[in-house]
A and B are shown apart, each in its own frame.
Chain A
Amino acid sequence: MVERNLPAETHMADPFVSEPIIQEVDSWWRIRLALMRRSFRDNWKIFRRNKIGVFGLVIIAFWGIMAVMPTVFFATGFWSPAVYDPVTGLELDPPTRTMTMVERITDPNTEIDQRAVLLDGRIPDTLRIGDTFDLPLQPAPPDGRHWLGTDPLGRDILSQLMHGARASFFLGIMAAVVTVVIATTIGSMAAYFGGIVDSALMRFADLLIMIPGVALLIVIGAVFTYQLWHLAVVIGILSGFGGTAIVLKSQALAVKVKPFIDAARVAGGSARHIIFYHLIPNVMPLSVLYMMFTVTGAIQSEAILSFLGILNTDTSWGLMMNLARTQGYLLQVADFWWLTIPAGMAVTLLSGAFFLVGRGMDEIVNPRLRRR
């Protein structure tokens, strides 16, 4: 009886009373963690049954391994950096083809058969018409040393492909994280506060979803030199304040009307507490789903910007195709397939795989779809 009448300050200052509060926070987290672990296990069971999602996951795993391989290869000495580095590597001893001199051409850079360009771009002066000589092939087709051949600059395609995977993962995941952090916060805030905060944020989101993203990224490239992480942040902001925020807001609205939010409010939880401890954890599953779709978009955007030569990056699938294009190999698919098909398919497969995983997760997040 006496204790109950003590002023609140005394309560807070009392070390014996504050201790259980810490414990409570601790156990609160433990409960949350246990819940997450359990829901992860349950959801995995559902996800596993979805063949399409698992198919996507397998592709992602494949590219994940690809992204790690260069480290292993360089560390074990299987690849020497001088030859296999994706940017500075150079095959000094490329395969050759025996050619016969038919006609002397003054400007070998422009007039000679493109397939027979020497490493230094010249044909020895001593050659006469009718002589044969060994022409080093650069780009060279796949062989035992270079499983996917080399590019016009004598660099290993497989190594570039693997490093490109690394860049794509970095960019995609970073863009997705930025998106989801922004979108979850914005969406939850808009849902919780409603009114003018809501309308302001949502009108802004309406505007962002109307803007053609790739065109915007391109025009930003006019005044700003992109690094990969800049791109991730810009994509994250565009999608985080835009479409993803709208979706997550409607989800947060659905959570907001549930009784436990009222309970938290009655218990005296502050807005910040309710948003971060109650609203956001419940919006999280949908956030993760939209992370997948953001990754798809980010990988595609990056590939397009580096294909157009707007992105300032040195290893990227888009850049591989850019090189093939600027060197004029793009339309010789039958003869130089290794310059275009691996990179093009890589973009398609990895971005598609994230999309498939997203679709697979859709069935977990939207129980409405979970039938049959």
Chain B
Amino acid sequence: MIRYVTRRLIQMVFLFLVFLTVTWFLLYILPGDSVALKYAGNPNIPPQAREVAMERLGLDKPVLIQFRDYMFNFFQGDLGVSFNQYPRPVVDIIGERLPRTLVLFLTALVTYYWAGFVAGKYLAWRRGNRGEMAVTIGGVGLYSMFLPFFAFMLIWFFSVQLGWLPISKFLDPEQWRDAPFAANQVFMRLFWVALIAAFAMFAANFAGHRSHSRALERILRVGGGALVIAGFLYYWFGTESGQSMRPYAGDIAFHMILPVLTLTLIAFAGVMLLTRSSMLETLREDFILTARAKGLPEGVIRDRHAARTALLPVVTSLVLAVATVIDGGVITEAVFSWPGMGEILISSVLNEDIPVAVGAFAFIGVLALIGHFVVDVLYGFLDPRIRVTEHG
């Protein structure tokens, strides 16, 4: 397992280098309005910045030297300076936005994968072709829903018509006017709290799954869940740091509902359809018959045998879906004016703030690679066959 992880890690680092190279050549060598032209002709660039940029990037130097300088600077954490927020370093902007994106993105990802998996599991279990067409068309309808359109429909319905939820942005400026925290501190705290809670939940579930006595499993699952929730509540209501931050964290969570809902509704159908067909396939396997013959209760056959095995292709699909999911996140951020990585990517592209655009894209690439790595490791963890026989 450790060897497997190390190997994947090395592969990822290598892939990241290739990714940076390809991106650089794509953007700097592309015909037409090249970067050099954009730099020279961009009215947004302050004159002194233009000179600095031209010199620093050495746009008159040979291509390979430029490339070397770019890579060198990148790994020193120097991604250049924003034109629109001159002279703010790009790294600074990205550092500010990364936690906001992570919190939104991970929440949405966990929500919709879970929802899709559970929905698909029960749909397959109920079986019967009745409703197959309705489920497929409904699922494909949601899945191919034009994201901005759907998001605005939801905003219109929940925020404009019903007035329940905020229209956009990630916090309510009124409330934050004299807040003792920077928004990012709260985001980081949210991120860690959620991560710890998720990990504890996973550990409890996993321990339950491993134990063979049904009673122990239930105790571990329910008890672990309750313990996590209790810890969560204790942190926000019982401790001093939690209490002081709670209203602000709450405000952010409130602003997160609609974007997460949008992403979940659009993306969960894909997971649902996949889980359903994977589960139907698994249910035809001989080991399901064996499990039945063993006299196991239906719920155990469904969860421990069918769903557990049907999960494998669903996790594999996550490998392919990481990119799609990030795309969805980028668009959602733009629609909800959620000031994260995706939003800065789009606004910098529209404002021709090239250093920021390239930097943001590079970090989105990093996110995709990390996501890929995590999924790979998770898969190795879930499928014992991978751990031993490993190719490529």
Contact, chains A and B (beta carbon distance below 8 A) = yes
**CB neighbours of A216 from chain B (8 A):** 361
| Contact A220-B26, Cβ < 8 Å, known A212-B330, A303-B146, A331-B152 | yes
Distance of B134 from chain A, by nearest CB (Å): 10
> A210 and B368: CB pair below 8 A?
yes
For the residues of B in contact with A, the DSSP-based class is: helix
Contact of B323 among A209, A303, A321, A344 (CB under 8 A): A209
**CB neighbours of B26 from chain A (8 A):** 220
Distance of B320 from chain A, by nearest CB (Å): 6
> A213 and B327: CB pair below 8 A?
yes
Q: Residue-by-residue, is B24-51 near A (CB-CB < 8 Å gives 1, otherwise 0)?
A: 0011101011110010000000000000
| Contact A222-B153, Cβ < 8 Å, known A300-B144, A356-B140, A372-B129 | no
**CB neighbours of B35 from chain A (8 A):** 223
Q: Does A188 contact B (CB under 8 A)?
A: no
Q: How big is chain A's contact interface, by range?
A: 35 or more
> A52 and B330: CB pair below 8 A?
no
> B153 and A223: CB pair below 8 A?
no
> A211 and B320: CB pair below 8 A?
no
Q: Does A47 contact B (CB under 8 A)?
A: no
| Contact A352-B141, Cβ < 8 Å, known A207-B22, A224-B32 | yes
**CB neighbours of B372 from chain A (8 A):** 210
> A223 and B152: CB pair below 8 A?
no
How far is it, in angstroms, between the C-alpha of A285 and the C-alpha of B341 when the chains are bound?
40
Distance of B333 from chain A, by nearest CB (Å): 11
Q: Which residues 293-329 of B sit at the A interface, judged by CB distance below 8 A?
A: 320, 322-324, 326-327
Determine, out of B114-122, B154-162, B201-209, B221-229, the stretch whose residues face the partner at the interface: B154-162
> A211 and B365: CB pair below 8 A?
yes
Q: Which residues 347-365 of A sit at the B interface, judged by CB distance below 8 A?
A: 347-348, 351-352, 355-356, 359
Which of A55, A211, A334 counts the most B-chain CB atoms under 10 A from its CB? A211
How far is it, in angstroms, between the C-alpha of A52 and the C-alpha of B133 when the chains are bound?
7
Q: Does A135 contact B (CB under 8 A)?
A: no
How far is it, in angstroms, between the C-alpha of A359 and the C-alpha of B133 when the chains are bound?
12
Q: Does B143 contact A (CB under 8 A)?
A: yes
Contact of A212 among B27, B133, B368 (CB under 8 A): B368
Q: Does A30 contact B (CB under 8 A)?
A: no
> A222 and B357: CB pair below 8 A?
yes
Q: Which residues 341-392 of B sit at the A interface, judged by CB distance below 8 A?
A: 342, 345-346, 348-350, 352, 354, 357-358, 360-361, 364-365, 368-369, 372
> A222 and B137: CB pair below 8 A?
no
Which of A218, A225, A321 counts the most B-chain CB atoms under 10 A from its CB? A218
**Which 4 pairs, one residue from A and one from B, show the smallest C-beta to C-beta distance?**
A344-B149, A352-B144, A347-B146, A214-B327
> A308-B350, A331-B155, A340-B152 given. 12 additional CB < 8 A pairs?
A52-B133, A52-B137, A211-B368, A219-B357, A219-B358, A222-B27, A222-B349, A223-B34, A304-B146, A344-B146, A347-B146, A359-B136
